[in-house]
Amino acid sequence: MSALTPTRTPAPGTPSDSDAADAAAPRRRAVRRSPLRSERRGVRIAAWSTVVVFGGFALAPVYWLLATALTPRDQVFAYPPRLFPATPTLNAFAALASNEQLFVYLRNSLLVSVLTAVLSVLVSAYMGYSFSKFRYRGRRSLMYFVLASQMFPQALLLVTLYSLFSAYGLLNTYTALVLSFTTFTLPLCVWMLKGFFDTIPDELIEAARVDGASRLRIIHSIVLPLSAPGLIAAGLFAFVRGWNDFIFALTLAGPEKQTLPPGLVNTFVGEASTAWPELMAASLVVSLPVAIAFIALQKYLVGGLTAGAVKG
């Protein structure tokens, strides 16, 4: 049917994924006779031009990242650079694998991001539930304070956090990193989880109370299990934000406890001749968990984005 309808893309077999479009089917005949046909072609050309130009801007650097990672080290400083590596190699990845310090950073990154995610989800679940299902004075102000708190400048918080952790002997510990990461993961998780809890019908909770379940029991055996996808989504977003952090780990930890982002900067940047293939290979490796998390999170992307899940 789509082959006959110039209103939409003319490709036969293009899946139609919109109910609205199908519902409008009877109107199509009128549309087909409309004098705007040439204009529609113009729109299609404009759409494709946009995609080609900006798509190029989006993807050319990605290609260059891949190509450089596969270029032998002695060829990377050839000028002009070759757009296609003449003898692609995985040497850069092998070099990474033999660098023990990178594994320290990797382990730190995994540990700190997972701990941050767990702590944030745990604490945020109670807070989000309180915001979602109870009504009290100051609730809205508190909610918006939480929302605003992720917009306070990190560089500024860091000034005091550094002195604070230093006073308690927590500099260069996982504790310092996890606690500082919660400054941005907690607000995000609270708002996301509040949104999830809002979708749980009050009747369900009331019914459980009528049955004699305590309020805490309701949270633990009804609300949280029902919100499992939400908890996982919030946790994954928190993991990603922790994984991507740069400024806190750069400042609050040294090489033994530092995560990958500042670790990679310290390893590769500022040397007399940067090992570009290795840096690009490391960039791919550090991006991988984020990419996997996002594929898992597709469904929650837009909702999570408005809650500040990932800074644009």
d(CA 188, CA 224): 18
Among 5, 72, 162, 200, binds another protein (CB under 8 A): 162
d(CA 250, CA 244): 12
271, 59 Cβ separation under 8 angstroms = no
CB of 220 vs another protein, minimal distance in Å: 12
Nearest of 237, 291, 290, 242 to residue 108 by alpha carbon: 242
69 binds another protein (CB under 8 A): no
Nearest of 107, 125, 106 to residue 238 by alpha carbon: 125
61 binds another protein (CB under 8 A): yes
54 binds another protein (CB under 8 A): yes
**Cα R_g (the chain), whole angstroms:** 26
| 263 token code pair | 């670790």
Among 4, 107, 202, 221, binds another protein (CB under 8 A): 202
269 binds another protein (CB under 8 A): yes
Please give the residues from 213 up to 232 whose contact with another protein meets the rule CB under 8 A: 214-215
Is the torsion defined by CA of 95, 98, 104, 109 positive or negative? positive
Please give the residues from 92 up to 151 whose contact with another protein meets the rule CB under 8 A: 122-124, 126-127, 129-130, 133-134, 136, 139-140, 142, 144, 146-149, 151
Among 244, 258, 267, 300, binds another protein (CB under 8 A): 244
d(CA 305, CA 195): 13
73 binds another protein (CB under 8 A): no
Please give the residues from 7 up to 46 whose contact with another protein meets the rule CB under 8 A: 7-9, 11, 14, 18, 20-21, 23-24, 27, 30-31, 34-36, 39-40, 42-44, 46
80 binds another protein (CB under 8 A): yes
